A and B are shown apart, each in its own frame.
Chain A
């Protein structure tokens, strides 16, 4: 009898604990529906345009799935400030580095899905076609200075850039100027480097005379260019950014949209790619047979003054800030950026300006949430707190006309992009944004490039991959 009682008690405990679990669940759901009902009522009265943020903030909630791990802290603070001011709940979740797509896919499937998420390219728009809200009438699109920084898809303004970035060849001007003053230097001034031939000659000369330069200037150079790592942590600089120039000039010739691209490429400018690539590899101290080992750190090579040139973008600026405690001896004062002279139209080529960071608003969220989200984004780019966070804390260059005076970008490399533009040079568009099935295409391109570089593989294979895989993935991604 006793045993029976014990077992009955045990069962009762188990069942009650299960019910308790379900109970709290159902409580939460009812709460949710109550909320929704309440907001529906209030949504009936159309939100009036008002200067007072709290009145226009809406009654929904905002969920931002942040793309940049380094700006997580700034976003969390900004979200808390907004909630304090308006009472609107803002959730910020940051996906781990390289895990954005994984996180986004699982988060979008939840009932509390992100209302703002990052979209990189037109190809992404196609994938998330069902989730794209038309931002045509939004404040952020209205105040976007360069409308080409918005992604259009299916007749909608699918996503709006939240920053613009530039890339080129970062160089150590202190060392380079020192070199120019030396006897027998290829050029007498940094300004004389205006095309690929000159750059190549300078890099080759520096690389050949490393010891001599070190002795004369007291530097500790090991090569001209920083290592061109072919491991996954670095190879996007070439399969994405450098290949972007080949794509840019090709699209320009073809007359198609420079960002959206077209279904076939011919690899017309791949010889230029090859020249630049050979320069990277041959004027660097890294053993070219081991470039894919992942053991190289190009940023560090530049930071420690071991290299003069380094192809990368303005996001590297903060790594060389004086207060950044990473032990680099080279700071932003020593650095500048020049275009990746590609040997096509060097006289008119500026830095490559564009972005992979676009805000998209989830069309499948409830209307209240969408309204609140748009209000939040408006606040981010118009309020002092929001602008301060974006410019000063996240260090981004915002593409909105609300970012004036003290909120203008403080990024020295971004300033270089404007300087080149002011000189009448054309900024290179980020044509690699058109890449179909971007991870696959890049992997298929890097494989023969690695063979070519490390094991004397054929350049034709690189070209074949570039051309054939483009058409192949394009067809795959665009079929319905």
Chain B
């Protein structure tokens, strides 16, 4: 049987591989190539070397800080959203595995926001925020920090439910005898959490932090619909900044592409590093 699998392996893998190459690898490689070109449409390019990459930071002898600004703004956004989402999702997950009344109802309610698309969700929240802030003569784009916390609230509201489900699955998978043994040993609830639940949950934490981290870095819909990058371009996260460069600035498609390549490398490096870090803390059950 194993031999057969080995023999026919290429045949079985071929269709998926072909789809992956056509749908992902080829556009990706072509995208990297285009980042070294000046182009209007993707078939109409002209090689310009590293010009697009230098333009991200220096334009006509002037330092352009919009990309760097959106870089640290995104980094901060990601850190804050990862922390809040994971801590809250874990807490809710813990509560909803205690067997309290209406557990299923609560789980459904918490999960529901995740089913609404980012754009719609953000428009709804935009109305809520502005209706509240109007009383203080402010709007969600009054400053970049209003925009920042606005996005944090929306993203948390949307993702906590999803992460909660993953945490619940993880918590339910902790063997009952382990908990019982700890109880018999006289562990209090803090010790149980610290020495049993958390170590056993490390694989779940790896997944959840990976998802929230990449989601935070790649956030686009909510940014576009909620703030549109306003005020000025101060609340542009990286993805929106790239989009804006690509379609907003005349003749800058190549620069947008170059930013996208840098963006990819950045997200890949951070995600891999995070994965390594949390995986190393996992215990073999």
Contact = CB atoms under 8 A, between A and B. Distances in A.
Interface of A: 3-4, 7, 10-11, 14, 18, 101-102, 105-106, 108-109, 123-124, 126-128, 130-131, 232, 287, 289-290, 292-295, 436-440, 443-444, 447, 450-451, 454-455, 472-473, 475-477
Interface of B: 1, 4, 8, 11-12, 14-15, 18, 40-44, 59-60, 62, 126-127, 130-131, 133-134, 137-142, 228-233, 244, 247-253
Contacts of A295: 127, 130-131, 134
A108 B8 CA distance: 42
Contact of A294 (B126, B138, B142): B126
A232 B235 CA distance: 14
A440 B140 CA distance: 21
A290 B127 CA distance: 13
Closest 5 CB pairs of A and B: A447-B232, A293-B139, A289-B137, A109-B41, A439-B248
Contacts of B8: 7, 11
A101 B134 contact: no
Contacts, number: 111
B136 to A, nearest CB: 9
Contacts of B14: 14
B133 A447 contact: no
Given A450-B231, A475-B60, A293 B251 contact: no
Contacts of B230: 232, 292, 447, 450
B253 A287 contact: no
B139 A290 contact: yes
A134 B246 CA distance: 27
Contacts of A436: 250
A213 B267 CA distance: 61
A237 to B, nearest CB: 16
B255 to A, nearest CB: 10
B4 A127 contact: no
Contact of B232 (A126, A127, A444, A472): A444
Given A126-B250, A232-B228, A287-B137, A18 B11 contact: no
B139 A292 contact: yes
Contact of A127 (B15, B40, B140, B229): B40
A396 B134 CA distance: 38
A296 to B, nearest CB: 10
Nearest to A448: B232
Contacts of B40: 105, 108, 127-128, 130-131
Contact of B248 (A11, A14, A123, A440): A440
Given A18-B18, A443-B232, A447-B233, 7 more contacts: A3-B4, A7-B4, A105-B41, A106-B41, A290-B139, A292-B139, A450-B230
B251 A477 contact: yes
Which of B14, B232, B252 has most chain A Cβ within 10 Å? B232
A450 B236 CA distance: 17
Contacts of B12: 10-11
Contacts of A476: 59-60, 249-252
A201 B15 CA distance: 74
B205 to A, nearest CB: 38
Nearest to A438: B250
Nearest to A99: B247
Nearest to B15: A14
A102 B137 contact: no
B249 A439 contact: yes
A290 B230 CA distance: 13
Contacts of B18: 18
B283 to A, nearest CB: 39
B73 to A, nearest CB: 16
Contacts of A105: 40-42, 247, 253
Contacts of A475: 60
Given A295-B130, A476-B249, A290 B137 contact: yes
Contacts of A477: 250-251
A127 B130 contact: no
13 contacts: A7-B4, A18-B18, A105-B40, A105-B41, A108-B44, A232-B230, A287-B137, A438-B250, A440-B248, A447-B231, A451-B231, A472-B60, A476-B252
Contacts of B131: 295
Given A293-B140, A443-B232, A108 B133 contact: no
B9 to A, nearest CB: 11
A297 B232 CA distance: 22
A294 to B, nearest CB: 7
Given A437-B248, A443-B232, A108 B15 contact: no
Given A101-B247, A439-B248, A476-B251, A109 B42 contact: yes
A247 to B, nearest CB: 18
A473 B60 CA distance: 10
A131 B44 CA distance: 10
Contacts of A450: 230-231
A229 B25 CA distance: 44
Contacts of B244: 439
Contacts of B42: 105-106, 109
A14 B14 CA distance: 9
A437 B142 contact: no
A454 B134 CA distance: 12
A448 to B, nearest CB: 8
A424 B253 CA distance: 45
B145 to A, nearest CB: 13
A18 B14 CA distance: 10
B267 to A, nearest CB: 23
Nearest to A475: B60
Nearest to B62: A472
Contacts of A102: 247
Contacts of A454: 142
Contacts of A4: 4
A472 B139 CA distance: 30
A124 B247 CA distance: 12
A14 B44 CA distance: 35
Given A454-B142, A472-B60, A290 B133 contact: yes
A437 to B, nearest CB: 5
Nearest to A129: B40
Contacts of B232: 443-444, 447
A472 B44 CA distance: 26
Contacts of A292: 139, 141-142, 230-231
B251 A127 contact: yes
Contacts of B247: 101-102, 105, 439
Contacts of B229: 443
A290 B253 contact: no
Contact of B134 (A14, A287, A443): A287
A456 to B, nearest CB: 12
B11 A443 contact: no
B142 to A, nearest CB: 7
A455 B146 CA distance: 14
Which of B62, B127, B137 has most chain A Cβ within 10 Å? B137
